[in-house]
Amino acid sequence: MSTSIQGKRFLLVLDDVWTDDPKKWEQLKVPLIQNGAKGNRILVTTRKHEVAKMMRATRNMINLGELNDECCLSIFNHMAFSDRDVHEFGDVSKEIVKKCKGLPLAAKTLGSLMQNKTKMGEWKEVLNSKIWDLEKVEQEVFQPLFLSYNDLAPTIKCCLLYCATFPKDYKFKRDDLIKLWMAQDYVISKGNKEKGTTGDAVFDNLVARSFFQDFEIDLDTSTITGCKMHDIVHDFVQFLTKNECLIIDHGEETTSESKVFGDKVRHLTLRYVPEGPLPLFISSYDCKNLRTLATFDSRITTIDPNLILQLKCLRTLNLSLNPIKELPKEIGELIHLRHIDLSFNHILKKLPDTICGLYNLSTLRLVCCSNLTKLPENMGNLINLKHLYVDGCGLLKSFPKVIGRLTSLQTLDVCSCGGDKDEAFQIGDLRNLNLEGSLKIQLRGDATDKSE
């Protein structure tokens, strides 16, 4: 950044700033002052007065008021009625909108809640809900979200709350999020519709309820492929899951909140772990009940085998973007694992053979593991593996032949076929697989047998 603004005038917009740590602000401000030309401006938006004080900008502060009822009503009606007649519920609509207290997100969320309610009794039930009587400040902000949340089916509630395991402003990928829901047994795959709710149905429901926003859309199919969660919605789901979902930044593991909820945590996310081992303080969080362990923006290089052995109930392990040298063989003891993500690890050369004993494993992501040279020979034992991602593994010359025994496999993003070795995977071995979507085949050696 210092290089890009050297000697230049600029306008920097920092939208929705939450951090009021003066040290972090100084780290950003110093290069801006030292390298930019005179006359630069920084525009900051925030909901916290403490941020303005920390930036020493209180004299130039503009307090934005709440939306008036007319503007809120316009947002609400747009979401609630679409092509329906407004007049039947006009008076009730105005009363509900008054409870939004000028918050556009509240009007949007409540409008989404009401779009499928066609009876006057249903509207009055929302208007007279006891949720409006909550007194805590944080709950006053969340009141409209509580109404929409309570209207969700139990399965959809679980899926929404799982989003609390991700950092604020995280870019969700639709398919990846659905696979994580499946790993927790919240939803089922497309092919088992008769057994429960599909992930696609849940995702679309949350979109319709305005819990997601900032959509990425496939132009060919008009399908939403990615999204974000509004930061207030993110605060809301973290508020609801503070006993079960915990995000810890490096250095904050000894805070009182972490200690209070440690033995109840089911989903643990670590951020900014410096280069070195996976922190051992995790063991204080009653690991035997942990279902999810994920890291973001970290540099973990090693994992203590004894720590792995404490994660007996783990279903999801996300160690992507870490320079891990070796995965402990003890990972084979985690028989409940359904989802493993080791993507973008440029150090890891191989996986332990014990990983082939994870019979419940459904998704294995090894994208851009550039030093990975081979897959375990007994991968055919992973009878429930549905999704194998190995694109970008340039040194992975061929697959074990037993890959052809993975009859549950639906996704194989790259298939390396080495025809010059009898034990290598051949194109013909694909015939028994139930692959869906696209498949990229890389031919290596003498893999040109027409019969295949």
Asked if 389 and 369 count as a contact pair (C-beta separation under 8 A), the reply is: no
Q: Based on the domain organization, do 255 and 389 belong to the same domain?
A: yes
Q: Give the domain extent around 158.
A: 154-233
Q: How far apart are CA 412 and CA 397, in angstroms?
A: 15
> What pLDDT score does 394 carry?
85
Asked if 415 and 397 count as a contact pair (C-beta separation under 8 A), the reply is: no
| Residue 286 in this model has a pLDDT that exceeds 70 | no
Does residue 49 belong to any structural domain of this protein? yes
Does residue 27 belong to any structural domain of this protein? yes
DSSP per-residue letters across 96-146: HHHTTTT-HHHHHHHHHHHTT--SHHHHHHHHT-GGGG--SHHHHHHHHHH
Share of the chain above pLDDT 90, in %: 37
| Residue 377 in this model has a pLDDT that exceeds 70 | yes
Higher pLDDT: 392 or 143? It is 392
Q: Which helix (H) or strand (E) holds 411?
A: strand 411-412
End-to-end alpha-carbon separation of the chain, Å? 53
The 10s digit of each residue's pLDDT in 180-206 is 999 999 998 765 554 456 899 999 999
Residue 140: band (very low, low, confident or very high) from pLDDT cuts 50, 70, 90: low
Token reading at 64: 């934005």
Does residue 254 belong to any structural domain of this protein? yes
Q: Based on the domain organization, do 286 and 316 belong to the same domain?
A: yes
pTM: 0.75
Q: Based on the domain organization, do 94 and 185 belong to the same domain?
A: no
Tokens 């951090």, residue located: 19
Longest dimension (CA), the chain: 78
Token reading at 47: 């909901």
> What pLDDT score does 260 carry?
45
Tokens 């609400």, residue located: 76
| Residue 422 in this model has a pLDDT that exceeds 70 | no
Does residue 439 belong to any structural domain of this protein? no
Higher pLDDT: 429 or 66? It is 66
Mean predicted confidence (pLDDT) in 333-362: 96
Residue 102: band (very low, low, confident or very high) from pLDDT cuts 50, 70, 90: confident
Token reading at 383: 């009878």
Q: Based on the domain organization, do 338 and 259 belong to the same domain?
A: yes
| Residue 450 in this model has a pLDDT that exceeds 50 | no
Q: How far apart are CA 363 and CA 361, in angstroms?
A: 6
| Residue 411 in this model has a pLDDT that exceeds 90 | no
Q: How far apart are CA 28 and CA 36, in angstroms?
A: 12
Higher pLDDT: 360 or 145? It is 360
Mean predicted confidence (pLDDT) in 88-108: 83
| Residue 96 in this model has a pLDDT that exceeds 80 | yes
| Residue 256 in this model has a pLDDT that exceeds 50 | no
The 10s digit of each residue's pLDDT in 166-183 is 999 999 999 999 999 999
Average pLDDT of every residue of the chain:
83
Q: Based on the domain organization, do 318 and 290 belong to the same domain?
A: yes
* Residues recorded for the chain: 452
| Residue 65 in this model has a pLDDT that exceeds 90 | no
Q: How far apart are CA 257 and CA 245, in angstroms?
A: 12
Number of domains in the chain: 4
CA within 13 Å, CB half, 343: 16
Q: Based on the domain organization, do 296 and 339 belong to the same domain?
A: yes
Q: Based on the domain organization, do 119 and 211 belong to the same domain?
A: no
Asked if 371 and 393 count as a contact pair (C-beta separation under 8 A), the reply is: no
Asked if 308 and 328 count as a contact pair (C-beta separation under 8 A), the reply is: yes
Q: Based on the domain organization, do 131 and 178 belong to the same domain?
A: no
- Collapse the DSSP code of 431 into the 3-class scheme (helix H, G, I; strand E, B; otherwise coil) and give the result: helix
Last residue of a domain, one of 203, 233, 263: 233
Q: How far apart are CA 274 and CA 250, in angstroms?
A: 8
Q: Based on the domain organization, do 127 and 77 belong to the same domain?
A: yes
Token reading at 372: 């990975």
Q: Which among 407, 447, 406 has a CA at the least distance from the CA of 424?
A: 447
Q: Based on the domain organization, do 278 and 381 belong to the same domain?
A: yes
CATH number at residue 89: 1.10.8
Tokens 């950044």, residue located: 1
> What pLDDT score does 262 carry?
59
Mean predicted confidence (pLDDT) in 141-147: 78
Higher pLDDT: 450 or 63? It is 63
Higher pLDDT: 427 or 157? It is 157
Does residue 275 belong to any structural domain of this protein? yes
Residues 6+ apart with CB under 8 A from 276: 299, 300, 301, 302
Last residue of a domain, one of 167, 201, 233: 233
> What pLDDT score does 132 carry?
66
Mean predicted confidence (pLDDT) in 339-357: 96
- Which of 22-26, 50-54, 336-340 reaches the highest mean pLDDT? 336-340
Q: Based on the domain organization, do 55 and 77 belong to the same domain?
A: no
Mean predicted confidence (pLDDT) in 87-103: 83
Q: Based on the domain organization, do 303 and 215 belong to the same domain?
A: no
Point out the least confidently predicted range of 5-14, 17-26, 407-416, 417-426: 417-426
Residue 353: band (very low, low, confident or very high) from pLDDT cuts 50, 70, 90: very high
> What pLDDT score does 176 carry?
95
Does residue 88 belong to any structural domain of this protein? yes
The 10s digit of each residue's pLDDT in 298-334 is 999 999 999 999 999 999 999 999 999 999 999 999 9
> Other C-beta atoms within 10 Å of 311: how many?
24
Residues 6+ apart with CB under 8 A from 136: none
| Residue 242 in this model has a pLDDT that exceeds 60 | yes
Contacts 24+ apart (CB under 8 A), 216-225: 216/171, 223/174, 224/174, 225/173, 225/174, 225/175
Does residue 192 belong to any structural domain of this protein? yes
- Which of 117-121, 236-240, 286-290, 292-296 reaches the highest mean pLDDT? 292-296
CATH number at residue 276: 3.80.10.10
- Tell me how far CA of residue 109 lies from CA of 94, 138, 142, 197, 233, in angstroms: 15, 17, 11, 23, 10
Last residue of a domain, one of 112, 141, 170: 141
**Angle ∠(386,328,171) on CA atoms, nearest 5:** 50
